[in-house]
């Protein structure tokens, strides 16, 4: 089976938009309001001659557990089946306490992680992305999933990690 690249992060950071960008189709459901999509969805894709499976995550229900625990659970389940992880953060919001909890989990798992600073739609937002160095996951990759900015460099690095 091809290697698995899991896309994890809080609701609304742009995971499904990024997955659509990666697969070159519009199959992942993009939501303005989080909480409706299916649990976990896999798509086969290809980059630089390499075939891989990309796993979108999402589908939190608004129940008593709360969003924080839901994000951590989803991330954990996806990461357990992944060979490498794209951890997506909304650079226009910055790192939240939920993001920091996911970082701890990712560290424990020991999989290769690429930190995606999404919603960097133009160069003036690069500084927002740079502040994500503080998460301790190394270099943030500034991308705009909507416009495709930076996603080629991200995928090049992801293929090296797979």
CA triple 58-63-68, angle to 5 deg: 55
Which residue in the set 6, 8, 16, 116 belongs to the binding site for Mg ion (CB under 5 A)?
Answer: 16
Residue 116 or 135: the one with the smaller Cβ distance to ligand GDP is 116
CA triple 138-41-45, angle to 5 deg: 70
d(Cα 119, Cα 134) in Å, to the nearest integer?
18
- What 3-state class would DSSP assign to 144? strand
Q: Is position 157 an interface residue for ligand GDP (rule: CB under 6 A)?
A: no
Residue 38 or 65: the one with the smaller Cβ distance to ligand GDP is 38
Name the pairing type of β-strands 84-90 and 113-118: parallel
Min dist CB 54 to ligand GDP, Å, is 13
107 assigned to a ligand binding site: no
Q: Is position 151 an interface residue for ligand GDP (rule: CB under 6 A)?
A: no
Which residue in the set 4, 11, 55, 79 belongs to the binding site for ligand GDP (CB under 6 A)?
Answer: 11
CA triple 114-120-122, angle to 5 deg: 140
149 assigned to a ligand binding site: no
DSSP assignment string, 5-26: EEEE-STTSSHHHHHHHHHTS-
Query: Scanning the structure block, which residue is given the tokens 């557990």?
Result: 65
Site string for ligand GDP, 102-141 (x = CB under 6 A): ----------------xx-x--------------------
* Residue least distant from ligand GDP (Cβ): 14
Per CB under 5 A, which of residues 45..74 are in contact with Mg ion? 58
d(Cα 157, Cα 77) in Å, to the nearest integer?
23
The residues of the shown chain that bind Mg ion, judged by CB under 5 A, are 15-16, 37, 58
């Amino acid at each position: 089976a091809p290697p698995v690249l899991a896309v994890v992060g809080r609701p609304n950071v742009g995971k499904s938009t990024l997955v659509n960008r990666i697969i070159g189709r519009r199959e992942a459901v993009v939501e303005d309001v989080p909480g409706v999509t299916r649990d976990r969805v896999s798509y086969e894709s290809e980059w630089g001659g390499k075939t891989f499976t990309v796993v979108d995550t999402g589908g939190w229900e608004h129940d008593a557990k709360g969003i924080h625990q839901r994000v951590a659970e989803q991330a954990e389940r996806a990461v357990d089946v992944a060979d490498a992880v794209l951890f997506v953060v909304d650079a226009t919001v910055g790192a939240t306490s939920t993001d920091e909890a996911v970082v701890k989990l990712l560290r424990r798992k020991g999989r290769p992680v690429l930190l995606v600073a999404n919603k960097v739609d133009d160069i003036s937002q690069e500084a927002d992305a740079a502040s994500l160095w503080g998460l301790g996951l190394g270099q943030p990759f500034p991308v705009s999933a909507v416009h495709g900015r930076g996603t080629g460099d991200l995928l090049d690095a992801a293929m090296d990690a797979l």
